[in-house]
Structure 1
């Protein structure tokens, strides 16, 4: 009875939260007339009636969806891989290496979480536009309209450093001392001792980094005007510039949502384990 009282409310809550996703997936298979006809009944959540993949075909004919998906995959993968390396090494230095200003620096890193990105977006665009990349006589290649302007500003992340720091603090320092006796330096300790014991933390940080990178909208809208470099969320506004076809919008939304769902389901065990073991410890 206790188990039923625990899992039944959780199941009902999961079903409620799943309704919008189910509606989106089902509606992506129907024409607009069928979508509006089914709104007043349970058919809105069932793949019945005029079901086909025409909306998905129309999406690729209406907007360069394949290019948008590829751009988001490139940007997200680069942010995640570089972020895991940079943030984990920064957290390792703050958590495992004893030096005087480590607590102060960690406090400053956590303080960056107070500022929402929207408050610094405009100044950041200004400074990014002033940064040179390749400069020679009569030729200058800047940062705007590039992949790097979508990647490099988001590699270092205060929340990722904090999560890694919390996990690294739970690893016994005796392992570091044993490794140093064997002749390992700090880089070897990081690579051979800490990283192999931090799989759940890396999976959690990777997942939490990938989701905002994949869902990035404001920053690419401000810094990327070239259609060949824009990510998936920018493509949503293309459908509202034309005759609005809700079936196609649902199909495009499904295309950009399914990769996130797959990523979460693949890493959910590691995510839950990391949060339970380290994320809530002070």
Structure 2
């Protein structure tokens, strides 16, 4: 094979970096436009959309849109609701789905292949097809709480959490990761007298950081961006998440600057959550690529 000349190698490297920069701009420019527009009044915001000024902090820049956004909608309450619902759901989902995956991979029981196939088959079922039946169930489902028995789950946190704890994608991620772990670790632990839960907690889970981070990020994005289900089951303002709260800004006169300020504020938790787990997430993707 002919050797690649330094000039060709430099050209290929330049083209590669150019493509990467263009791809990065596709993802970064909308976020930059959103943030910059959140500091501008509506007239300037709309006027700047036809030029590069839309991505720059120029003109009449202030925090007025943020102040108006807090007056128009209870932003703090909506963010708190979304963070609470998302955080609890992610933690419970990781626990339940990882335990289920552990049983599918390491325990021998009749029918586990069929059950796993049924769980994975739910991935192709659109949520819209089960939304109404699920609504009819939760609207009459009893709940025993501190105040006694309640005969509905509507307008509560639990109706936004419990139906989303277990899902086929999270189980699938854990199953695929657990299959690549050495089975000798489990066998040695059993010989030492460890129980199955001790093996799960002390042996398997400490080795599962990448898949835990991956599943947490994906679950976080799904839950934090929930709109249709909360819109159906939550009518009281005190339980509404951030995505449903967005409709406050499209009543009567639309204030685009306030919309951009609200979107900026609700995007911060997503970016912060990703930055915390990005190393483990990238490690998971890299390990998946190496294993093929």
Whether TM exceeds 0.5 here: the answer is yes
SS state at 1:134 partner = strand
Which of 214, 234, 243 in structure 1 is aligned with 2:224?
Answer: 214
Superposed CA RMSD in Å reads: 1.8
Which of 183, 193, 200 in structure 2 is aligned with 1:183?
Answer: 193
Q: Which moved more, 1:170-179 or 1:140-149?
A: 140-149
Give the aligned partner of residue 109 of structure 1: 119
Give the aligned partner of residue 37 of structure 1: 47
Unaligned runs of 5+ in 1: none
Q: Measure how far apart 1:264 and its partner are.
A: 1.7
Instruction: Give yes or no for contact 2:135–2:233 (8 Å, CA) kept in 1.
Output: yes
Q: Measure how far apart 1:126 and its partner are.
A: 0.4
Give the aligned partner of residue 264 of structure 1: 274
1:52-131 alignment runs, 5 A limit? 52-131=62-141
Q: Which moved more, 1:142-151 or 1:127-136?
A: 127-136
What's the TM-score, normalizing by structure 1? 0.95
Which of 16, 29, 32 in structure 2 is aligned with 1:22?
Answer: 32
Give the aligned partner of residue 238 of structure 1: 248
CA distance in 2, matches of 1:281, 1:224: 44
CA deviations 1:106-133 (Å, max 9, x no partner) are 1111100000111110110001112111
CA distance in 2, matches of 1:50, 1:10: 33
Q: CA 1:261–1:181 in structure 2 vs 1: closer, same or farther (change >3 Å)?
A: same
CA distance in 2, matches of 1:265, 1:5: 28
Q: Measure how far apart 1:281 and its partner are.
A: 6.1
Give the aligned partner of residue 204 of structure 1: 214
CA distance in 1, matches of 2:69, 2:33: 18
Q: Measure how far apart 1:8 and its partner are.
A: 2.4
CA distance in 2, matches of 1:204, 1:66: 28
Unaligned runs of 5+ in 2: 1-9
SS state at 2:20 partner = helix
Give the aligned partner of residue 5 of structure 2: none
Q: CA 1:66–1:135 in structure 2 vs 1: closer, same or farther (change >3 Å)?
A: closer
Which of 132, 144, 149 in structure 2 is aligned with 1:134?
Answer: 144
Give the aligned partner of residue 164 of structure 1: 174
Q: Which moved more, 1:204-213 or 1:258-267?
A: 258-267
What's the TM-score, normalizing by structure 2? 0.92
Give the aligned partner of residue 224 of structure 1: 234
Q: CA 1:193–1:135 in structure 2 vs 1: closer, same or farther (change >3 Å)?
A: closer
CA distance in 2, matches of 1:278, 1:93: 22
CA distance in 2, matches of 1:93, 1:72: 31
Give the aligned partner of residue 3 of structure 2: none
SS state at 2:57 partner = coil
Matched, 1:194 2:210: no
Which of 8, 13, 19 in structure 2 is aligned with 1:9?
Answer: 19
CA distance in 2, matches of 1:151, 1:280: 35
CA deviations 1:114-173 (Å, max 9, x no partner) are 00111110110001112111399x963521100000000000010000000010111100
